[in-house]
Amino acid sequence: MYKNNHKNERGQSIVLIAIAMIALIAFVSLAIDGGMAYTQRRIAQNAADSAAISATFEIRMQNRSTDSNARSQPAVLAEIKEAVVAHGVVYDEEHVAAYYTDALGAQLSTCKVGSCPTTVMNNAWGVRVNVSKPFSTFFAGVIGWHKMT
């Protein structure tokens, strides 16, 4: 009554193994590129935090000076550049942006540090630094993501 048709199902396991291997490779590549993205994000965040602390310290030191001409945006900008580069991030206007903040951390102006009027800097208590660090992907290029930020 029941005829054994297993002869027609030869090779089925090869197809299933191939599909499983593709899925496994996809998950491994996601883990590698995801881990790399997390690492690069952490580097950028450390650079931003360090630059903000250094620049804020420079502003506080300038505020303590009795010389009214001691305020210097280039000195604050130099602190930002030094801290960012020390963390392995290339400093450029496209990937690093710094803004003066008040005592509560609110941004004072849309102008970036180094190009603000003196009145903005005179009211500054700190600096907010935003850093993005683009990097090349390993496996995500297969689906069209050759760079991530």
pLDDT tens figures, 15-42: 889 999 988 888 888 888 889 889 989 9
Residue 3 lies in a domain: no
pLDDT confidence bin for 5, thresholds 50/70/90: low
Residue 24 lies in a domain: yes
pLDDT confidence bin for 10, thresholds 50/70/90: low
- Domain span holding position 81: 10-148
pLDDT tens figures, 109-146: 888 887 777 777 778 888 999 998 888 887 777 777 77
pLDDT tens figures, 76-111: 888 999 999 999 888 888 888 899 888 888 888 888
Show contacts of 63-72: CB within 8 Å, 24+ apart.
71/118, 71/121, 71/122
Given a cut of 70, whether residue 8 has pLDDT beyond it is no
DSSP state string for 58-74: HHHHHHH-S-TT---HH
Count of structural domains within the chain: 1
Residue 2 lies in a domain: no
What is the per-residue pLDDT for 63?
76
What is the per-residue pLDDT for 26?
84
Residue 60 lies in a domain: yes
- pTM for the whole thing? 0.74
Side chain identity, residue 50: S
Residue 78 lies in a domain: yes
